[in-house]
Amino acid sequence: MYLTQSLHRALQQYPDRPMTICGDRVRTTREVVDRVSRLAAVFRGLGVQTGDRVGLLALNSDHHQEFFFASWWMGAVAHPLNTRWAPAEIAYALTDSGTEVLLVDDTFAALGPELRERAPGLRTLVYCGTGETPEGMLDYEELITGSEPVPDIRRGGDTVAFLLYTGGTTGTPKGVMVTDRALQTSMMSSLILTQAATPDGVNMLTAPLFHIGALTGWYAQNLIGGTLVFLPNFTPEGVLETIRRHRVTTTTFVPVMVQMVCSHPDFNAYDTSSLRRITYGGAGSPESLLQLAMTSFPQARFTQGYGMTETSVLTVLTHEDHVAGGQRLRSAGRATCAIELAVVGPDGARMPTGEVGEVVTRGDHLMAGYWGKPKLTAQAVRDGWMHTGDGGYLDEDGYLYIVDRLKDMIITGGENVYSAEVENAVAAHPSVASCAVIGVPDDHWGERVHSVVVLKPGRTATEEEIRAHAKTLIAGYKAPRSVEFIDAMPLSPAGKILKRELRAARTDG
């Protein structure tokens, strides 16, 4: 297979079927493929070469469909940027990846001058918004209209499809190289179990398309066929109205979205009977929330996916497991069809059933490595096994239970936050002597980013000041939602902060 194969199949089998819907804009397969081939020519004209990275900083829209496929059509690597990051983080990813061409929409066009200053290698900005093209940028629609289609070079296999930046325990993001082979393997092996896409499906894309989970669902629907509905922002009203208006059949949520949609006071005023499949992931879900969701959407089949950017989907908890209920609702499900999963101890030996160790995996679904970081790649992938950093155990039937995150990652509202990144930001405040960041339980977010701070002698700071300072350096969702001041940190004999003690004392949030 190759990355753009689904477009050629769709053009052959249903050229005039609606392929993308974004607001009031509907485009058929024929229109989308034509625009993709022209946008590929645009990239070539802008000096993009095979293997170069092309960036997109935009909220979900049908432009994502065109951008991803056009990048692959002419041999580039698609680099969708995290829209929730601070400018400094975005600039880091642009510079680290060597991205020279970046598409921006209305939401991010104003960042153009700052990004140029922070990322000197960024030479071309393309405006894909709906207003007047800002000075110093090229107009997306004019470029497409003024270009002639170019042939598809049909790349696949070990070709890098996506470069996705994820937070890191070292405090700086890492670029994960996701190949065509990895994407196809993960998508197909999970699709067999979930049946999360059907040829007549209408897939509503609510999760941001810089996340591997959202991208896997997007790619699966393209491969199977059907219609993609792009939702720029999540709001309960927007989701419910989109389901009603477009008769949505499939979508992916993170748990906080499920709660907000199902708890909306006007939920019953919307016709949601078309929704047949709901996939959720990104954080653990309380059983009470799952029961609420299943009651709210009784006609829908529910599946949970667990994975990470480096591996895509690893395990699936099927709809049948949800119906059965019980202990397995607390699990992450079982390994998908084309991967190998194990739980090992510090010596690499497999742990007995029911005993906690590190979750590891191997197979064609693994990333090609971290961009420009061979040492970090070698640390993560050892003897062919990707070490996830997650602690868990397997039961006698192969169901995986996650009990802790060894990399000290916090999942808040479906977003991954690494404590080292937040600690670096908080520690930069002039009044902070030391800090530790942990996740604490939160009824709304699943986990809340909580910072424990020791101030320098004679210095003062408020919770609001610490949070505001952190937001100047990192994305708002990473900044502490709560700050606690203490006199001294609990330390190990080696002088390391004992986060387990901090967590244990704050389990009530």
DSSP per residue over 29-51, as a string?
A: HHHHHHHHHHHHHHHHHTT--TT
Show which of 156, 185, 208 is a domain's final residue.
156
pLDDT score at 404: 65
For 165-202, write each residue's pLDDT tens digit: 987 555 678 999 999 999 999 888 887 777 777 888 99
pLDDT score at 194: 75
308, 281 Cβ separation under 8 angstroms: no
> Is the model more confident about 289 or about 347?
347
CA nearest to 450, candidates 426, 482, 490 = 482
pLDDT of 279 > 80? The answer is: yes
Nearby residues of 298 by Cβ (< 8 Å), 6 or more positions away: none
What angle (nearest 5°) sits at the alpha carbon of residue 84, between those of residues 190 and 128?
90
Mean pLDDT of 331-353: 94
Is 360 inside any structural domain?
no
pLDDT band (50, 70, 90) for residue 381: very high
Show which of 96, 131, 156 is a domain's final residue.
156
pLDDT of 398 > 90? The answer is: yes
Question: Which residue type sits at 38?
Answer: R
> Is the model more confident about 420 or about 369?
369
pLDDT of 18 > 90? The answer is: yes
CA nearest to 398, candidates 359, 345, 349 = 359
For 54-91, write each residue's pLDDT tens digit: 999 999 999 999 999 999 999 999 999 999 899 999 99
pLDDT band (50, 70, 90) for residue 285: low
- Tokens 């598409």 -> residue: 103
Mean pLDDT of 225-233: 95
Please indicate, yes or no, whether the overall pTM of this predicted structure exceeds 0.95.
Answer: no
- Residue 293, SS3? helix
Instruction: Classify strands 174-179 and 160-166 as parallel, antiparallel or unpaired.
Output: antiparallel
Show which of 133, 156, 179 is a domain's final residue.
156
pLDDT of 283 > 60? The answer is: no
Average confidence score pLDDT of the chain: 92
Mean pLDDT of 417-435: 88
CA-based torsion, 126, 87, 415, 476: positive or negative: negative
pLDDT cut 70: percent of the chain above it: 96
pLDDT score at 119: 97
Is 142 inside any structural domain?
yes
Is 299 inside any structural domain?
no
Mean pLDDT of 335-353: 95
Is 253 inside any structural domain?
no
Is 211 inside any structural domain?
no
- Over the Cα atoms of the chain, what is R_g? 23
pLDDT of 313 > 50? The answer is: yes
- Tokens 């927007």 -> residue: 238
Domain limits at 73?
30-156
pLDDT of 286 > 70? The answer is: no
Is 137 inside any structural domain?
yes
- How many domains, the chain? 2
pLDDT score at 343: 97
pLDDT of 504 > 90? The answer is: no
Q: What is the CATH number of the domain that holds 116?
A: 3.40.50.980
Nearby residues of 192 by Cβ (< 8 Å), 6 or more positions away: 336, 337
Is 98 inside any structural domain?
yes
Q: How far apart are the first and last CA of the chain?
A: 49
pLDDT of 495 > 70? The answer is: no
pLDDT of 509 > 50? The answer is: no
pLDDT of 411 > 90? The answer is: no
pLDDT of 277 > 80? The answer is: yes
pLDDT score at 420: 76
pLDDT score at 95: 98
Instruction: Classify strands 250-253 and 277-280 as parallel, antiparallel or unpaired.
Output: parallel
Q: What is the CATH number of the domain that holds 438?
A: 3.30.300.30
pLDDT score at 494: 55
Q: How many Å apart are CA 425 and CA 163, to the nearest integer?
A: 25
Phi (first) and psi of residue 144, to 5 degrees: -65, -45
